[in-house]
Amino acid sequence: MDPKVKIVATLGPSTNDKESIKRLIESGVNIFRLNFSYGTHEEHLETIKSIRESAKELGRTVAVLQDICGPKIRVKGLGKRVSVKRGERLYMAKEATEKAFSITYPDLIDSLYVGEDLFFADGTVHVKILEKEGDTLTLEVLTPGILAEGKGVNIPDSNITLSALTQKDREDLRFGAKAGVDFVAVSFVSSEEDIKEARSIVKESGGDSWIVAKIERKSALERLDEIVDASDAVMVARGDLGAEAGLFRVPMLQKEIIRKCNEKAKPVITATQMLTSMVNSPYPTRAEVSDIANAVLDGTDAVMLSDETAVGAYPDKAVTVLKETILQTQDSCTFESETKPHEREAFANAAVELSKTVPSEFVSALTLSGYTLRHLSKFRPHKPIYAITPNRSLINKTAIIWGVAGCVAIEEFGSEKELTREFLKEAKLKPSAFLMVTGYLGEKIFQGKSVRYINRCDLEQTQ
């Protein structure tokens, strides 16, 4: 049995080679995240090539998620990983020296004041500004942890505002579009305008990536509905969200964001510190396993690993822990939508309801854009979901949608029987019966929505 909740894994020094990528796919990875805070375009292009080749060789549907940096403030000029202790003094300046490190937006130091709190590395290191002398700040460590080059800096009490897309982001978006990435995660989204700008750049560059909004700012929470509506998918970026909105708000914010995404049939990824202990340990903590299970029960479409697979010592085991936890949890999920299906999703809902009554091995969706597929997934059928599409670029994108077990591209067909025959042949399926819901296919043979029940007698007639 395959997990209905999908697995996203970040590639990095521990896994950035073809053999590691293959092992991760075999362990259960559906989507690989490329962090564009690190690496060159040439390096990322080579990684994308390795992912595509590995997926083809293994016969798996695997997607590529490009995660652009955004205006995130990061540690600069530190040189090496440093373990800091409670009460220790650190120095941060506009220009890095032997004594002080800097940040990627050094002029922001002018706006900081004594007594203000700063957080590093997804909020794991908490410091307070003790002194400010010229361009240099003296910081006192309140919560110990690890500081490293490129780690994020959060200033939750500051009124500093930065555009969601930097010049580097725009260049990265153009690169990603030409490289054919399947998803683009936009960091530090504040409004729907950030999503629209990213989408415009991707389209102008010849790409068709789905845009994923990372929810990590207070301003994003204030405009959550409009951001979800404007996006193709959403990421609950719990690290920066905790540092920005408050650590103790994260559990309920996670549930709220997932609920809104479920209602709007938008795929949602739960990310950050799912299995942090497995960066250095072959075993998870019980609390981490419970966290994964809770995300599954909340209704997330996917869960994501970051350092665990990028720099961790046990990347394959971390993926296996995710997979096993999902499998042990998913059958206990009972998703009952609080809202009635609206008219455009009535057929998808009907197919799911029928699957509870009539003998069927799976539910399939005939879809051009993925709309029908997403709404079929919204109602969380207990049976596997298969997608059929004339749009070949949709195949990898289905890797993010809850419950989708496979997708087949059939670009040309003359009749429903021919389509059914080709679908079952390509998907290597021999069902006794299944359900098919059709969506809008433009000029194709199906001109309207429908739900079809196809049993063995029907199947024999397609031979």
Secondary structure of residue 350 in the 3-state scheme: helix
Give me the catalytic one of 23, 74, 421, 444: 74
CA–CA gap between residue 122 and residue 138 (Å, rounded): 21
Nearest to residue 186, comparing CAs of 269, 249, 264? 269
272 in active site? yes
**Amino acid residing at 243:** A
Give me the catalytic one of 22, 76, 199, 214: 214
What is the residue-wise DSSP string for 65-96?
EEE--TT-EEEES--S-EEE-TT-EEEEESS-
H/E segment holding residue 286: helix 286-298
Nearest to residue 130, comparing CAs of 143, 140, 141, 119? 140
- Cα 11-16-21 angle, rounded to 5 deg: 80
33 in active site? yes
52 in active site? no
Residue 149 burial (CB count, 10 A): 15
Please report, to the nearest 10 degrees, the dihedral formed by the alpha carbons of residues 16, 19, 20, 26 taken in order: 140
Is-contact 179 45, C-beta < 8 A?
Answer: yes
Locate 58 and state its tokens: 């293994």
What is the residue-wise DSSP string for 24-57?
HHHHT--EEEEETTSS-HHHHHHHHHHHHHHHHH
Please, is 224 exposed, middle or buried when counting C-beta atoms within 10 Å of its C-beta (0-12, 13-18, 19+)? middle
Long-range contacts of 104-111 (CB under 8 A, 24+ apart): 104/72, 104/73, 104/74, 104/76, 105/71, 105/73, 105/162, 106/76, 106/135, 108/73, 108/155, 108/160, 109/135, 109/137, 111/158, 111/160
Give me the catalytic one of 47, 166, 272, 389: 272
140's CB contacts (< 8 A; 6+ apart) are: 87, 88, 89, 90, 127, 128, 130
Backbone angles phi, psi at 216, to 5 degrees: -150, 0
Beta bridge partners of 455: 433
421 in active site? no
Please, is 417 exposed, middle or buried when counting C-beta atoms within 10 Å of its C-beta (0-12, 13-18, 19+)? middle
Q: Which residue has the tokens 């080059």?
A: 149
CA–CA gap between residue 454 and residue 349 (Å, rounded): 17
Active site residues: 33, 74, 214, 272
